Structure 1
């Protein structure tokens, strides 16, 4: 049985001002880890030290997902690994913990997240508005790191930037604020670059800014000092005296001189020399990388609901639910078949459950999952084993019916009317069902593939 109030501990040098009966005080990390795990932990210490403690706690399975607040100033490690500043009111801590506890209880119903991606998604799902935050660190070659990913990786070796790009591609995560844009060596991937000016002719490093003169009589260009002879200007090539600038001579734009090959040039060539591998590249050869924060996407949130509940996962598994990209590819293939070959055609049904996410939030995690289970059962009664389904968001549900013409589509639509009966209860009465249908190939537009088709139908369901 869950306790009505969270067990709260404070780790630090002074007692918190919060008036909590459940509050226990520890002065060192070893003492905290020697007792049973607390529901909420308050770190009352300077931000720099709190960040190091947080980094240690997040690697421990016992405190990996727990709510941990920082009571004093927060450094970037605290922001990346903690749950923000400590709430002023004890009631607010309890309210946040209750929301967290509902989701954590669902997480414990199924098997513990073993895959790295499941651990990261679970951490984000357990807390609203959580992000995978980038941290600037001059000690790493790429200048930025993601402390949360490092803490949850355990012993796995991961490339944080490549993994985040893959999660965005699969729609589990979405991009947040653009933190920075860095240039990396195309050979070793390091961002430790030294930009140097070199000679345009021989690429030597030993160049210097040097005033030069241009003799109009013979066209000789040389260093200004070579034109000086006994206090007057004489061309060292034709020995003519240079009296008037503009008529006898001028100052050319070439202000740089190479001390190796003695060439004169206007602007030096810029090269980026990698301080790790030592190779040099022109700036346009460098690999640009955007550094961003990331948050849980709607598809990722739905995956967590499905993965961390035994019942929900079982029901939707029976619906042959496909991921977004797999469903797009299958639909595009069906479109090509429908256009190239004669009937039988295929049909598509789009369902939008208006106000479903808001209603689930009001119901809470447990009642919300029970309602989703009931909804999945009703859908299962209407869907055939050969049909394929997908959910692009929590509101949108798609059913593809192979070898189904307009007449067969009408029969399926009639069976789907039973789904709307679920919304008659007062607590879910705000949900309404919108339906759109299509039969290929007659209802298709020119050059339309699976992704474009779903986007068009989704806009019509708005």
Structure 2
């Protein structure tokens, strides 16, 4: 993938028409894999065949991340694995490929081979704003599957795939999308194939049947209708009252049941959920609730990809205190609690926002933007102590937690950081504006303020 124009292959009975692009035709995925590697693949196949081809290509190391478009109508499986319909304008395809190529050059292929999480994040980053899509599959035990996870991880076990999603979400790299469905799954094997059945509340037998019953208004007795019949008349077996008029002397309850095994008589049956895969029986409230969602790449995930899953800048920041947003808030909450209980220690919190930073990255391009980020990090690290901690909530916002730093020290840090604007002017990113908002404990704190509320207050000042 060294040429400016991408090498394009088409799989299908006929070559997809591109007026000024040289598209090479292949009969099948097998013939494509047998030849030289192409940059872009066009699938001119019906949806079921295109979906099968996509599964094979996404599982193959050579085409795992490549741009693959569908020339015909897509089904949900194609939408989850492809890059969408073939762009009508060849220049659009060329622009998408150039953007893909720039980003791919920043990735560490060694890490991609070793870590399934890195492959997932990289796939999303290379084609923003694509999602990890859930696809309904009646043949799957959970009725939904994530075909992209299965292809990139090589794992057919749904449990392993969900663990990967949960870990990436907890680390802040992925964000949950809108709720698609809510399933109840077997607590034993995780299957969604459940049979809800009424059973006897006494012996749990399924041998129950509705049985006519009567309700005596005089004494309140409820029993089978046959016990009220005596010599052709209705007589309550409990109080021996003769029942003549329905509605005034007695009525018929809507539903009553008799167990054929233990002969128990009851009004409401007990509901059991029996798994059709493992055979376990559960009460409905014991089932595991699973919410089906799509997942998108967060700002932290984009930054993680841009830094190559372990680039120099990331390693330097990790060595000097770059931590996840959740850990940063935990430490800030801990310091706030110490302030409430012991009136110490003294500390400062500083928020930085590089306004229009994301826009500047787009105009500069991925390569130059990465160099700018590295220079920015190097200059920032020069003044950091090993006890300081920092985090990045998105591409524009950086937070510094400075223990034992008062207002004077905070102002010194602000003055040093303000000089970073020189880097923006030197790199041609003139539209970037640096904003700062800080607070020093205990004087700048509000009563009952948590880490989340404090950072939200400063975010308002940064905006």
Whether the TM-score (by the shorter chain) exceeds 0.5 is: yes
Gaps of 5+ in 1: none
Instruction: Quote the residue 2:62 is aligned against.
Output: 62
Superposition map of 1:217-232 within 5 A: 222-224=223-225, 232=232
Answering whether residue 185 of structure 2 is matched by residue 184 of structure 1, we say yes
In the alignment, the residues of structure 2 paired with residue 376 and residue 141 of structure 1 have an alpha-carbon distance, to the nearest angstrom, of 47
1:332 deviation in Å? 3.1
Q: Any conservation in 2 of the 1:258–1:264 contact (CA below 8 Å)?
A: yes
Superposition map of 1:28-177 within 5 A: 28-107=28-107, 112-154=112-154, 159-177=160-178
Change (3 A) 1:403 1:156: farther
In the alignment, the residues of structure 2 paired with residue 385 and residue 285 of structure 1 have an alpha-carbon distance, to the nearest angstrom, of 48
Aligned to 2:107, the other structure's residue is in SS state helix
Instruction: Quote the residue 2:399 is aligned against.
Output: 398
Instruction: Quote the residue 1:361 is aligned against.
Output: 362
Aligned to 2:293, the other structure's residue is in SS state strand
Instruction: Quote the residue 1:204 is aligned against.
Output: 205
In the alignment, the residues of structure 1 paired with residue 108 and residue 6 of structure 2 have an alpha-carbon distance, to the nearest angstrom, of 17
Mean Cα deviation higher: 44-53 or 412-421: 412-421
Instruction: Quote the residue 1:303 is aligned against.
Output: 304
Q: Over residues 380-417 of structure 1, what are the superposed CA-to-partner deviations in whole Å (9 max), with x where a residue is unaligned?
A: 23333443222111111112222222222222222222
Mean Cα deviation higher: 128-137 or 439-448: 439-448
In the alignment, the residues of structure 1 paired with residue 299 and residue 282 of structure 2 have an alpha-carbon distance, to the nearest angstrom, of 41
Q: Any conservation in 2 of the 1:68–1:82 contact (CA below 8 Å)?
A: yes
Instruction: Quote the residue 2:430 is aligned against.
Output: 429
Instruction: Quote the residue 2:260 is aligned against.
Output: 259
Change (3 A) 1:97 1:229: same
Q: Over residues 418-449 of structure 1, what are the superposed CA-to-partner deviations in whole Å (9 max), with x where a residue is unaligned?
A: 11223335841221111112222222233334
Gaps of 5+ in 2: none
Change (3 A) 1:130 1:246: closer
Aligned to 1:447, the other structure's residue is in SS state coil
Q: Any conservation in 2 of the 1:344–1:405 contact (CA below 8 Å)?
A: no
Instruction: Quote the residue 1:417 is aligned against.
Output: 418
Change (3 A) 1:450 1:236: closer
Q: Any conservation in 2 of the 1:198–1:269 contact (CA below 8 Å)?
A: yes
Mean Cα deviation higher: 361-370 or 447-456: 447-456
Q: Any conservation in 1 of the 2:57–2:64 contact (CA below 8 Å)?
A: yes
1:292 deviation in Å? 0.4
Count of residue pairs the alignment pairs up: 461
Q: Any conservation in 1 of the 2:155–2:161 contact (CA below 8 Å)?
A: no
TM normalised by structure 2 equals 0.90
Aligned to 1:424, the other structure's residue is in SS state helix
In the alignment, the residues of structure 2 paired with residue 14 and residue 265 of structure 1 have an alpha-carbon distance, to the nearest angstrom, of 69
Q: Over residues 320-350 of structure 1, what are the superposed CA-to-partner deviations in whole Å (9 max), with x where a residue is unaligned?
A: 4222123223333344445555766222221
1:172 deviation in Å? 0.7
1:203 deviation in Å? 2.9
Instruction: Quote the residue 1:447 is aligned against.
Output: 448
1:77 deviation in Å? 1.7
1:168 deviation in Å? 1.5
Q: Any conservation in 1 of the 2:11–2:41 contact (CA below 8 Å)?
A: yes
In the alignment, the residues of structure 1 paired with residue 451 and residue 227 of structure 2 have an alpha-carbon distance, to the nearest angstrom, of 74
Aligned to 2:114, the other structure's residue is in SS state coil
Aligned to 1:383, the other structure's residue is in SS state coil
TM normalised by structure 1 equals 0.90
1:300 deviation in Å? 0.8
Q: Any conservation in 2 of the 1:174–1:294 contact (CA below 8 Å)?
A: yes
In the alignment, the residues of structure 2 paired with residue 192 and residue 422 of structure 1 have an alpha-carbon distance, to the nearest angstrom, of 59
In the alignment, the residues of structure 2 paired with residue 17 and residue 206 of structure 1 have an alpha-carbon distance, to the nearest angstrom, of 66
Instruction: Quote the residue 2:457 is aligned against.
Output: 456
In the alignment, the residues of structure 1 paired with residue 183 and residue 326 of structure 2 have an alpha-carbon distance, to the nearest angstrom, of 30
Q: Over residues 234-266 of structure 1, what are the superposed CA-to-partner deviations in whole Å (9 max), with x where a residue is unaligned?
A: 549599876533455432344433333344433
In the alignment, the residues of structure 2 paired with residue 419 and residue 220 of structure 1 have an alpha-carbon distance, to the nearest angstrom, of 86
In the alignment, the residues of structure 2 paired with residue 43 and residue 312 of structure 1 have an alpha-carbon distance, to the nearest angstrom, of 39
In the alignment, the residues of structure 2 paired with residue 219 and residue 347 of structure 1 have an alpha-carbon distance, to the nearest angstrom, of 73
In the alignment, the residues of structure 2 paired with residue 344 and residue 327 of structure 1 have an alpha-carbon distance, to the nearest angstrom, of 17
Mean Cα deviation higher: 249-258 or 131-140: 249-258
In the alignment, the residues of structure 2 paired with residue 402 and residue 34 of structure 1 have an alpha-carbon distance, to the nearest angstrom, of 60
Q: Any conservation in 1 of the 2:210–2:255 contact (CA below 8 Å)?
A: no
